Chain A
Amino acid sequence: GDSVTQMEGPVTLSEEAFLTINCTYTATGYPSLFWYVQYPGEGLQLLLKATKADDKGSNKGFEATYRKETTSFHLEKGSVQVSDSAVYFCALSDEGTSYGKLTFGQGTILTVHP
């Protein structure tokens, strides 16, 4: 079955540091890939997505590129802010299914200090 693996967390950074959160996946066919963010006490919000190989999703300074050859979708940001502190989830949706039918990674807690 489908699965998503994220780097072990939590991640603690100083403000303006570079962020990378690794994500790899296992799926049949050509899934769509997503990064969701969860702020304390809130639901999940879509951060960015990519629907085919070599697509780059981007939003709020975050980027991730769909790499089919390495089955990866790593999240990066060049300069993090304290307000980026949250839990980040990598997820996939099978080809041909609703984007709401998601398989999630275990989540990575990010804490950014001033």
Chain B
Amino acid sequence: DQQVKQNSPSLSVQEGRISILNCDYTNSMFDYFLWYKKYPAEGPTFLISISSIKDKNEDGRFTVFLNKSAKHLSLHIVPSQPGDSAVYFCAASGDPDSWGKLQFGAGTQVVVTP
């Protein structure tokens, strides 16, 4: 049973515009959320995270929003750059039965066009 879902497998955006990636989760025990970026033939790299006590976290061009009541989070990248073309994974943690382990979504492939 997939507890973290990224329903958009791909996203194409023009350079300079905003990229919005969405993620939904089903387990109400999750209290920490992370976004990872992955280039082909490389491992995922940590991008940004948010704790459930917050509804927004910002780091440069990257902002993550959390809506706990809707069990939804989103990653905004603005402005988008060609180097942002990668697969982005949403991950969640916090279920006491699996402390420290992350549940990942299937990823969204972002392509930034000139």
A, B co-complexed: no
